[in-house]
Amino acid sequence: MNPLLLRGVRPYGEGEPVDVLVRDGVIAELAATIDAATIDADDVQVVDGNGAVLLPGFVDLHTHLREPGREDTETIATGSAAAALGGYTAVFAMANTDPVADNAVVVEHVARRGREVGLADVHPVGAVTVGLKGEKLAELGTMAKVGVRVFSDDGHCVHDPLLMRRALEYSRALDAVIAQHAEEPRLTVGAQAHEGENAARLGLQGWPASAEESIVARDCLLALHAEARLHVCHVSTSGTADVLRWAKARGTRVSAEVTPHHLLLDDSRLATYDPVNKVNPPLRAESDVLALRAALADGSIDCVATDHAPHAVQDKDCEWSAARPGMLGLQTALSVVAETMVATGLLDWRGVARVMSERPAEIGGLADQGRPIAVGEPANLALVDPDARWTVRGADFASIAANTPFEGMELPAAVVATVLRGRVTALSGRIQP
């Protein structure tokens, strides 16, 4: 592999621009100026940063790649391309595929396809229960043996407290984490949208905040007593943030994520009646959105995860109650975080590195991602133009599906380049061969 010279970049957006030389997948030199002519190699790939912000490559703990089973909406190849274009160098592929990733054969298949595609590290998430049915624990130990460190029934809640307790106990022994989709199912029967005025006006059955908060509170206590690691998926209410504060203050080994869409959109979106806005958990009240931003800024919520959920046109372009929940996220995450957290002064770029790369890498147990930008460290990087503005067009995304709720919005900041172990995977909005 040829050396790579990133010229005129600002690590974490701090200080004067520097040059960064990458050799054999590792950051080899970092200096005010590095002369390409002095590098002992025939071909040096030079990327001009023009003062862009250099961050560790992003890590997504929550991606639906839909392969195997729904390759009409996304594949590991198209999802990996979307990840690379979004600045991601690693993604965790959720287990709600068909067949479900509840055994070593399926998770190994996903990991192998990810390696073949090679645009981002694809880490399969293993299901907690067989077939996501919530009845019987899946073979967590066998999946852990082939490298799985995150288990989740995402899309479904592991609602049986005994099963959840057992899962946490096993995960502790396996040095793994249980990522819970917190939704007490008896409180969300028929639920279509956030329980509040907007849903009531449209006659949509409400999804109460307590359905999430009661499970998070319960699971925090189960994890505390089991001394196990719990990760809370897509936190959507201010009450959940409070529960997390309470649990963390008591030493619970709990981490949590928030999605870009819950940081930007609220349930006033329901007025359009457009199912592109249907997602689980639902878009909440404006007061929740502001509380989630504050919780991400103060560390009560650890990180951003996309919950990238591609859906076919026929599953979204239909009446609200028949539409599937979920929205795309990989190619808009950075810009939505820039809009909601950086432009508002809640996070600086070092903070963005923490919530989009460092913390997710730690939670997912990745030793070579989310590392400092320093000599000797693996070159997994995202180069971001903080001054760019662009208009979202779902049809232009690498994903097969186009269900973005941000369609037509003008957003700040753009990913200029993504580097995976020294190889440029995306440059100026194009995948690099």
**Binding site residues for substrate, as ranges?**
64-66, 96, 280, 311, 325-326
3-state helix, strand, coil in the chain (%, to 5): 35, 25, 40
User: Per-residue contact track with Zn ion, 229 to 268, x per CB under 5 A?
Assistant: ----x-----------------------------------
Residues within the annotated binding site?
Answer: 62, 64-66, 96, 154, 181, 234, 280, 307, 311, 325-326
> Is 307 one of the annotated active-site residues of the chain?
yes
CA distances from 207 to 139, 216, 299, 405 (A): 32, 15, 26, 20
Nearest distance, CB of residue 154 and ligand DOR, angstroms: 5
Nearest distance, CB of residue 324 and ligand DOR, angstroms: 6
Rounded Cα gap, residues 303 and 41, in angstroms: 39
Contact 343, 381 (CB under 8 A): no
Out of Zn ion, ligand DOR, none, what residue 289 binds, judged by CB under 5 to 8 A for its kind, is: none
Contact 261, 405 (CB under 8 A): yes
Q: Which position among 102, 219, 288, 307 bears the catalytic label?
A: 307
Can you say how many angstroms the Cα of residue 34 is from the centroid of all Cα atoms in its chain?
34
Q: Does 154 bind Zn ion (CB under 5 A)?
A: yes
User: Which H or E element spans position 412?
Assistant: strand 410-420
How big is the site for Zn ion, counted in residues (CB under 5 A)?
Answer: 3
Out of ligand DOR, Zn ion, none, what residue 86 binds, judged by CB under 5 to 8 A for its kind, is: none
Supply the DSSP symbol for 273.
-
Cis peptide before 281 (omega within 30 of 0): yes
- Nearer to ligand DOR by Cβ, of 97 and 198: the residue is 97
- Nearer to ligand DOR by Cβ, of 175 and 317: the residue is 317
- Nearer to ligand DOR by Cβ, of 302 and 307: the residue is 307
Contact 18, 32 (CB under 8 A): yes
- Nearer to ligand DOR by Cβ, of 149 and 181: the residue is 181
Nearest distance, CB of residue 154 and Zn ion, angstroms: 4
Out of Zn ion, ligand DOR, none, what residue 325 binds, judged by CB under 5 to 8 A for its kind, is: ligand DOR
Q: Which amino acid, one-letter code, is at 380?
A: N
User: Which H or E element spans position 163?
Assistant: helix 161-173
Residue sitting closest to ligand DOR (CB): 326
Nearest distance, CB of residue 232 and Zn ion, angstroms: 10
Using CB under 6 A, list all residues that contact ligand DOR.
64, 96, 154-155, 181, 279-280, 307, 309, 324-326
Residues within the annotated binding site for Zn(2+)?
Answer: 62, 64, 154, 181, 234, 307
Nearest distance, CB of residue 54 and Zn ion, angstroms: 32
Strands in 150-152's sheet, in edge-to-edge order, are 150-152, 177-180, 230-232, 254-258, 303-304
Per-residue exposure over 256-280, b if at least 16 CB sit within 10 Å of its own CB, e if not:
bbbbbbbbbbbbebbeeeebbbbbb
User: Per-residue contact track with Zn ion, 170 to 209, x per CB under 5 A?
Assistant: -----------x----------------------------
**Cα torsion through 287, 292, 298, 300, rounded to 10:** 120
Annotated catalytic residues are 307
Interface residues with Zn ion (CB under 5 A) are 154, 181, 233
